[in-house]
Amino acid sequence: MIDRVESPSAPAAIGPYSQAVAAGDIVFVSGQLPIDAKTGAFAGEDIRAQTRQSLENIRAILEAAGLGMGDVCKTTVLLADIGEFGAMNEVYAEFFQAPYPARAAFQVAALPKGARVEIEAIAARGGAAK
């Protein structure tokens, strides 16, 4: 059985998808743009502010599923400019601790609404950090 996971503290889905779905003990969080759910706007224009907001959105969705950032097993980071990888990585490191989730990072041609970053996550009960 697949259950939808939603949090009012993260931006609502803007298409035919869910913020996240739970399949047993695994939660798949859709790509999160750096949108502040309270304002509907980007948290800022720079990569650091946008990375922080995308990860805060993931945290809020995971909390709605009864999980936390320590349960994240895998992330995918999409960047508008791979040259901003270092700055993104500095903020990303604030949200995770060893053992860190597996991760892939890619530069893409464009992201929705002109975002600089989008991050998706897979989490499991008892995930990466034990």
CATH class of residue range 2-124:
alpha beta
The whole model's pTM is what?
Answer: 0.95
**CA–CA gap between residue 51 and residue 48 (Å, rounded):** 5
69-76 mean pLDDT: 97
pLDDT band at 130 (very low <50, low <70, confident <90, very high): very low
What does the pLDDT read at residue 92? 98
What does the pLDDT read at residue 128? 60
What does the pLDDT read at residue 129? 53
pLDDT in tens, 78-101: 999 999 999 999 999 999 999 999
What does the pLDDT read at residue 122? 98
What does the pLDDT read at residue 126? 73
Q: Considering just the CA atoms, what is the radius of gyration of the chain in Å? A: 14
What pairing do the DSSP bridges indicate for beta strands 72-79 and 20-23? unpaired
